[in-house]
Amino acid sequence: MNSVLIAIILIPIIEIYLFIKIGSQIGAFNTISLIFITAIIGVIYARHQGLNTLKSGFSQLVKNELPAYEMISGAAIAFAALLLIIPGFATDIIGFLLLFPLTRKIFLKKFSISKEFKNKTETDFIDGEYEDIKENEDDKKL
């Protein structure tokens, strides 16, 4: 089964379960307030981290270096902000983990495709030799 389809089904089930469990412990009003507070704090912190990543990317460009990590990190921060805006506790936890630089590096190393890409490109080459053949004037007339 497709992992995206499984995620689309499981994430709302987990969120509803957590809403019920946490709501029964702290009350409905407190649960709703907590959801709004985590969304607001998360978006503010995501903005802060995004600006820091943007500054770091510009400093890499000034040094004539490719800001590859900063671009990937910026995408992870944008995804974290999206997760924080979505109401739910599980998505908030993942979003906050993506916002902190230390845990973001761990996530990016875990889900990095660069290793797979390097391994694939190294094995997909076929060695061979070639020789330029110059055409004779007689062959052109035929």
Over residues 35-87, the pLDDT tens digits come to 999 989 988 998 999 899 999 989 988 988 888 888 888 889 999 999 988 88
Give burial (CB, 10 Å; 0-12/13-18/19+) of 100: middle
The per-residue pLDDT of the chain, averaged, comes to: 84
Q: DSSP state, 111? A: T
Query: What pLDDT is stored for residue 27 in this prediction?
Result: 92
What average pLDDT does this structure show over 23-45?
91
Q: Is the pLDDT of residue 115 over 90?
A: no
Residue 104 structure tokens: 């973001």
Residue 134 structure tokens: 């110059």
CA distance 99 to 57: 17
Give the predicted TM-score (pTM) of the model.
0.70
Query: What pLDDT is stored for residue 93 in this prediction?
Result: 92
Q: Is the pLDDT of residue 24 over 80?
A: yes
Q: DSSP state, 124? A: S
pLDDT band at 114 (very low <50, low <70, confident <90, very high): low
